[in-house]
Amino acid sequence: MRPPSRQFESVLNAFGDAGWHAEPIEGKEVLQCMFDAYHTRVHVLAQVFTQMNTLVVVGESRIEMNEDRYDLFFELLMRANKALTIGSFEFDFDRSTLVFKVSNIFDRELFDKDAISSMVHASVAEIDRLVPYVNILATTAQDLLEDLSIPRLLLRQDVLPPVPGQNDEDEEYSPI
């Protein structure tokens, strides 16, 4: 087995400096860990693409959604993506998993730990932000679905998780 790249070592160091316990996936330059967010658990994967000097961070959370609601669910994902500046939401049909991906091409072999940390925070925060909307959609009574407006649903602020660090008692997401 070849030694890890400088890029992967910089990701390992950034996770270690942040106090996040992550496990490497054998034979790949991928780290994985779990975070307890406000609304859900988020599985995070960070993969290095050495030749391109690129890091991709993926946040995932399993969801339960009836197929008869997929049209509204995909509208929710599409509208959420439209509002994003970085990253994007996807849905993995095979695993019933909500996915958020963000990537960055770095200009040098040693990746910036603040950028890595921001990418991880973004993936956890975005999954945690969308999960309550998904849950509302999943639990809305069938006879009320016709009246459910996805644009209005996304305007609701009352279901959003608190922003870590905004209040003194707020803590950052906790790794598991």
SS3 137: helix
pLDDT for the residue 106: 95
Give the Cα separation of 170 and 66 in Å (integer). 34
Architecture of the 6-66+85-128 domain? 2-Layer Sandwich (3.30)
Q: Has this prediction a pTM greater than 0.85?
A: yes
Give the Cα separation of 70 and 166 in Å (integer). 35
Mind listing the pLDDT tens digit for each residue in 117-176?
999 999 999 999 999 999 999 999 999 999 999 999 999 999 988 876 666 554 555 665
The token pair at 62 is 């399993």
Q: Per-domain residue ranges for the chain?
A: 6-66+85-128
